[in-house]
Amino acid sequence: MAKFDSETLRELHDIREVAIRTEKHPGTSVIIWVVVADDEAFVRSVRGSKGRWYRDLAKGGAATLEFAGRRLEVQAFPANDPNSMARASREYLTKYQPSPYAQSMVRAEVLPTTLRLEPS
């Protein structure tokens, strides 16, 4: 398992939103939320399995995160085990708590869309 360096993890932890582009749809990006739990970065689709970017990554393939003037090439891996989903959910509620949309990220139907990101 490849790991992000500590500086990248700090940036992902602190940034509110990132844009994601998938290999399948490189011409368009989608704004998503990202969280860091321990030394792992997680993303989740608020639209559940209906989210286009999620469907692209769930089938395998690479993506690019764009944030703070950076482009970060990533691979996504399912993280739908109870421990990963719980850690990601805690981080979503902590990081995005002021937003009225935070609860949407921890609904039962979106939990299985939790993906762990690794650098490619």
Question: 31-52, pLDDT tens digit by residue?
Answer: 999 999 999 999 999 999 999 9
Tell me the C-alpha distance between 64 and 48, whole Å: 20
**Residue 1 within any structural domain of the chain:** no
Distance, CA of 67 to chain centre: 13
**Residue 86 within any structural domain of the chain:** yes
CA dihedral 28, 115, 104, 67 (to 10 degrees): -50
pLDDT in tens, 48-107: 999 999 999 998 779 999 999 999 999 999 999 999 999 999 999 999 998 999 999 999
For residue 67, the number of C-alpha atoms closer than 13 Å in the C-beta half-sphere is 23
Split into its structural domains, the chain has a count of 1
CATH of the domain at 103: 2.30.110.10
